[in-house]
Amino acid sequence: MANGEFELKSQETPLVDFDTKTTESVSSLNRHSQIEEETVKEELELALPDYDDVAFGGYSWEIKNWHELDSRASSRIFEVGGCQFRIVYFPQGIVPSSGYASLFLEYIPSREEKESQDYGVCCQFAFIISNVKKPSLRVASSAHCRYSPEIQDWGFTQFSETKRLLSRNSPVVPPIVEDGALRINAFIRILDDPTGVLWHSFNNYDSKSMTGYVGLKNQGATCYMNSLLQSLYIIGAFRKIVYQVPTKKEESKNGIAYALQRCFYNLQFMNEPVPTTDLTKSFGWDSLDSFMQHDVQEFNRVLQDNLERSMEGTMENALKNLFCGKMKSYVACMNVNYESARTEEFWDIQLNVKGMKNLEASFRDYIQVETLDGDNCYYADMYGFQEAKKGVIFESFPPILHLQLKRFEYDFERDMMIKINDRYEFPLEFNAKAFLSPEADQDQNCEYVLHGVLVHSGDLDNGHYYALLKPQKEERWYKFDDTRVTPATLKEVLEENYGGDYFVHPPFRPAVKLKRFMSAYMLLYLRKDKIDELIAPVQKDVIPNHLKEVLDENIRLVDQQRKERLESHLYTKIEIVTPDYFANHHEFDLANFDNPVDEGVMLHFRIKKEQNVSDLIPMVSEEVEVPANRLRLWYIIRRQNYTLRVEEPVSELNISIEEAKDRWNSQGFILRLYLEILPENQTNHPLVNVSFDSPNIFLFIKYYDRENQEIIGCGTIFVIKNDKLDSICPELCERVGLSKDTPLHLYEEIKPGYIEYLRLSKTFAENELSTGDIICFETGNSDTKDQEDNIFPTAPKLYDFMANRVIITFRPRFIDQESTLEFELVLDRRIKLIELCEELSEKLNTDADHIRLTTCSPLAYAANMVVPNNPNITLYEIMHASEEDTVSNMLFYEIMNVSLSDLDKKRLLRVTWLFEGLANAELIDVYINKVGNVSDVFNAISEKYPELRVPNQKVRLYEILEHKWYRDINMRAMIRSLNPFARIIGEVIPEEEISLQENERVIVVYHFHKDVARMHSIPFKFVIKPGEKFAITRQRLRFRTMYPDNIFSVIKFAIIDFDRNSVVYLNDDDVVFELLEQYNGTLAMDRAKKEIRKPKILDRAIQMKG
């Protein structure tokens, strides 16, 4: 807590009221304190200016003899604004050796508040400790707190150094504590809580009851998706469209539309946060996709595209009517009557933030008119070169307007993506009519009201997304932050998300300038004349019946589970191990309660704590269908060596379940028992005394089946301590169908890794066996060949393996590598790396020396550290190599083209080589000496592809970033100079580029899909010729790319401008050479994304396969 703020936990020792002989309480502030009150009030209000005062007051407590104070002292109770408080003072500190005095403000709840246990009092307070005679000698500090049933004391563990209070600053300046006297002033400002959650701890917070809305669960990094889904959910018109998508057929149940219907239904009718796993599963995502953050705009586009496909033949324009507007790109000549214009649809608008003051400035920048003159004149067919104006103007705006604020951009100087945190203001309402084309319908309503602000907090690499939404026309704003929904203020919606710098004014300290870490990146505006229609409530009768029937039952079960959780403090869980469970438990110990092999044969009960143990017997009898007089229960305990064993039979039936649990499992919340089922001829058998002094011992028996290599439970047995072990051998043989005279070896399970051989000639007591112990036996007549045929020839060998066994999942390091097999292996954690790779080589059908492993981060679920090439390192050392507290039982593997010994000297480079245009691109891995140069890269590639070795043939390598051209690579450059984040492309330079004619230019051609922001694929160089019509240019582009007809025929070509996010599509009569100068852009191909290669893990674009 900042500035030593601390919650004082209540203690059994009561607060000590002041002693009238040593302290004096003043009911009202003294004269100096009254003067000081106004100053302190101003300081507190300056620190928290956005909250209204409920009350403000102060209290002065004078201490006469500081040296006689107890370790803990308190003032009298005083009142401010109808609330009662008192000061709690520790003159030597909570920890006396700390050297600091501690000071707290305690809130005294009223009788009604104590009874209700539901209150919150928000206070800002300041303490001033001063010299009684010279109040200017003082120490001051402030804090704020929400007093509640959880927190009733708040203050400072280190308010001031004790020596500072007792020491003189100079011979003429007295200490603060002078002659044992001291004054403590408390100033309290009780604040109005406009949202009801100011400084809330959110323990046991219920979003549905507080706001009427529920949140969405975060799967790892799906907060960006959650914020968008909530913004779409509040639009009732959109929800109705989603519900109308046909999903009744069985094949639709795995689709995106059905999953979105389920999600929206649960958001409306569930009472707790809604999971989104079904939705992401319908996208075709695995768990790794859910741990990757993506761009919200891209996610929204892909989601809308998928929904549109689901609506084909039913409501084909439904989404377009909500979200789609139109804009016109134009070039208009100034001196002749000629204009070239194209109208395009838009689903959202990307607005510049950098250099812009507010939303209006961004719109004006978007439609800014550029003058084409001088050398940059526009070529207007029959009119030749003309001065012209170029721009973009809107023809219509949609009912739902999504504005994407460009908060992220690539900084080429810093060679990285950066976040723009500049201050940028947006209004609650705005009129977009000023940005309409003069030819557009001027009667259309262009007034918009803000209903959503999607926020990104943090930096680019470590950020979080949430949404501030206004679900109803007259309703307040709410903050939707994953699982939690809370009321929000207008300041939280607007000012706190403008970005930029702000000042904080801590009381008694200078103001500090800070940079906001959260800012709006997407705005949701609704057209004013359509608001009632857009956010109209969705009634249950518009929801398909097949959806309601399934989901209502799911919600009922979830509510039931929630109720059980809320009432869990009234009940005790009981887990009972049955003989059937023990027989099928092939592991160490009596049972595995964390991961039982078969839940079906372990009994589970939930019973009220005050019920008696006797009430449990009939419940067990009914469950196992055995009369109660044949059942006997035994308490299971956890021994000091952390093993589970029975201790004694349940004999006291009249004690409560809670008492039994506390007696036998005091540190846990579950009562665990073993069920003994007596034979029919032992009905009402008296309880056998198995106390320490008794001669009886109750043992559990296991058998090692060497042939099947497994441990089998063989029931229980009562024995006499002084009998010899061999006395039970005939019965043990009989239990597993062996001849009674079969020689046996017996062992005791003591703990994992510790199995002790038992002497048959000794007694049970001499072998130190007691009730609850587990004996494992095996046949003792296995021959040498029998032992050689088995991996584990003896029970101790199997136990040793089980103690060191670990299940490791192996996943491919890259999803585009040759082997993508994912598998699990059961391994001994002592296995060495060289042995592990040998085992993997058989699984992967490759050389062991070519397998490289990488550990997995347990938190990020991603590749962590490459395992060093040390053949003697063990699997245990590999899994525990990092300093993280938790360990992931997963390893990534790569099959290298070179041995790991050679790899240590080389660097892997992945080059995409364009063999015949872009249609035949191949990803090539080459290992280059780390001190080599770039020419070695081509030499390594040409060794794999000798056809590239052509005399006098010129080749080039270049780097691209974010699907944009980055730079040509000099063949003499050193390998270490290559950008590690760039993608390397290689090709033979086309002949027309080598023999470039006068006035011809070489440009870069890009790929995008519908929007400039959605770049993809590989950019390439291309020669443009002056005066050449685009119809001819298109043919040369076809030859350059070598795309097949089915791909090339659907490509639209355009001139794009990255800075203005503009697109101008080309006709066959256009001259690209001239348009590039006029539009100050570059040539691009608009086509759906079809990557040549699959991306690496953690580098995936958003894809929905549903």
- Burial pattern 452-483, b for ≥16 Cβ within 10 A else e, equals bbbbbbeeeeebbbbbbbbbeeeeebbbbbbb
Tell me, what's the pLDDT at 929?
85
* C-alpha span between 939 and 946 (Å, rounded): 10
* C-alpha span between 851 and 896 (Å, rounded): 6
Task: Tell which residue, 654, 704, 649, 657, has the closest CA to residue 678.
Answer: 649
Nearest 5°: the CA angle 882, 884, 886 is 115
Among the options 402, 464, 745, 1009, which is catalytic?
Answer: 464
Residues 6+ apart with CB under 8 A from 637: 644, 645, 646, 647, 664, 665
Contact yes or no for 539/239 (Cβ under 8 A)? no
User: At residue 192, does pLDDT exceed 70?
Assistant: yes
Mean pLDDT of 1034-1056: 89
User: Would you state the CATH architecture of domain 909-1086?
Assistant: Roll (3.10)
User: At residue 809, does pLDDT exceed 70?
Assistant: yes
Q: Domain 325-482+519-534 classified CATH 3.40.50.150?
A: no
Strand partners, 685: none
Tell me, what's the pLDDT at 546?
80
Could you report the per-residue pLDDT of 72-86, keeping only the tens digit for each?
Answer: 999 999 999 999 999
| Helix axes 236-244 and 256-269, enclosed angle (nearest 10) | 130
CATH 3.10.20.90 domain span(s) along the chain: 567-687, 802-903, 909-1086
Mean pLDDT of 289-296: 51
* C-alpha span between 153 and 185 (Å, rounded): 17
- The number of CA neighbours under 13 Å toward the Cβ of 419 is 21
Of 660 and 255, more confident: 660
User: At residue 27, does pLDDT exceed 60?
Assistant: no
User: At residue 24, does pLDDT exceed 60?
Assistant: no
Contact yes or no for 144/137 (Cβ under 8 A)? no
| 3-state class (DSSP) for residue 469 | strand
Residues 6+ apart with CB under 8 A from 950: none
pLDDT band at 690 (very low <50, low <70, confident <90, very high): confident
Mean pLDDT of 193-207: 89
Question: Could you give the C-alpha distances from 793 to 379, 517, 703, in angstroms and in order?
Answer: 90, 63, 14
Could you report the per-residue pLDDT of 352-376, keeping only the tens digit for each?
Answer: 999 899 999 999 999 999 888 888 8
Tell me, what's the pLDDT at 1066?
92
Token pair, residue 733, equals: 């043989």
Tell me, what's the pLDDT at 156?
94
**83 included as an active-site residue:** no
CATH 2.60.210.10 domain span(s) along the chain: 2-191
Share of the chain above pLDDT 90, in %: 41
In CATH terms, the fold of domain 2-191 is 2.60.210
pLDDT band at 3 (very low <50, low <70, confident <90, very high): very low
Strand partners, 925: 910
Task: Tell which residue, 506, 505, 524, 504, has the closest CA to residue 514.
Answer: 504
Could you report the per-residue pLDDT of 302-353, keeping only the tens digit for each?
Answer: 888 888 888 877 777 889 999 999 999 999 999 999 888 888 999 999 999 9
Could you report the per-residue pLDDT of 726-772, keeping only the tens digit for each?
Answer: 999 999 999 999 999 999 999 999 998 899 999 999 999 999 999 99
Q: Give the sign of the dihedral formed by CA 725, CA 726, CA 728, CA 732.
A: positive
Among the options 123, 223, 446, 714, which is catalytic?
Answer: 223
**Is 488 exposed, middle or buried (CB count within 10 Å of its CB: 0-12, 13-18, 19+)?**
buried
Mean pLDDT of 148-174: 87
User: At residue 108, does pLDDT exceed 90?
Assistant: yes
**Phi, psi of 418, deg, nearest 5:** -130, 160
Tell me, what's the pLDDT at 25?
40
| 3-state class (DSSP) for residue 651 | coil
Could you report the per-residue pLDDT of 957-1014, keeping only the tens digit for each?
Answer: 999 998 999 999 999 899 888 988 899 999 999 999 999 888 899 999 999 988 888 8
* C-alpha span between 438 and 395 (Å, rounded): 9
Segments in 567-654 forming alpha helices (H): 579-583, 616-624
Query: How many CB atoms are located within 10 Å of the residue 997 CB?
Result: 9
Mean pLDDT of 479-503: 91
| 3-state class (DSSP) for residue 832 | strand
pTM over the 0.85 mark: no
Share of the chain above pLDDT 70, in %: 89
Token pair, residue 544, equals: 């398909």
Mean pLDDT of 809-827: 81
Tell me, what's the pLDDT at 22?
38
In CATH terms, the fold of domain 802-903 is Ubiquitin-like (UB roll) (3.10.20)
- The number of CA neighbours under 13 Å toward the Cβ of 1100 is 17
Tell me, what's the pLDDT at 1096?
34
Tell me, what's the pLDDT at 594?
76
Tell me, what's the pLDDT at 1098?
36
Could you report the per-residue pLDDT of 771-795, keeping only the tens digit for each?
Answer: 999 999 999 865 555 555 668 899 9
Tell me, what's the pLDDT at 74?
92
User: At residue 707, does pLDDT exceed 60?
Assistant: yes
Q: Domain 567-687 classified CATH 3.10.20.90?
A: yes
- Burial pattern 839-865, b for ≥16 Cβ within 10 A else e, equals ebbeebebebbbbbbbbbbeeebebbe
pLDDT band at 291 (very low <50, low <70, confident <90, very high): very low
Question: Could you give the C-alpha distances from 157 to 4, 86, 101, 201, in angstroms and in order?
Answer: 6, 16, 7, 20
Q: Residue with structure tokens 């968008």?
A: 228
pLDDT band at 294 (very low <50, low <70, confident <90, very high): low
CA dihedral 6, 10, 14, 20 (to 10 degrees): 20
**464 included as an active-site residue:** yes
* C-alpha span between 348 and 350 (Å, rounded): 7
Could you report the per-residue pLDDT of 916-955, keeping only the tens digit for each?
Answer: 888 888 888 888 888 889 999 999 898 888 888 888 889 9
| 3-state class (DSSP) for residue 129 | strand
Any idea what DSSP says for residue 119?
A: -
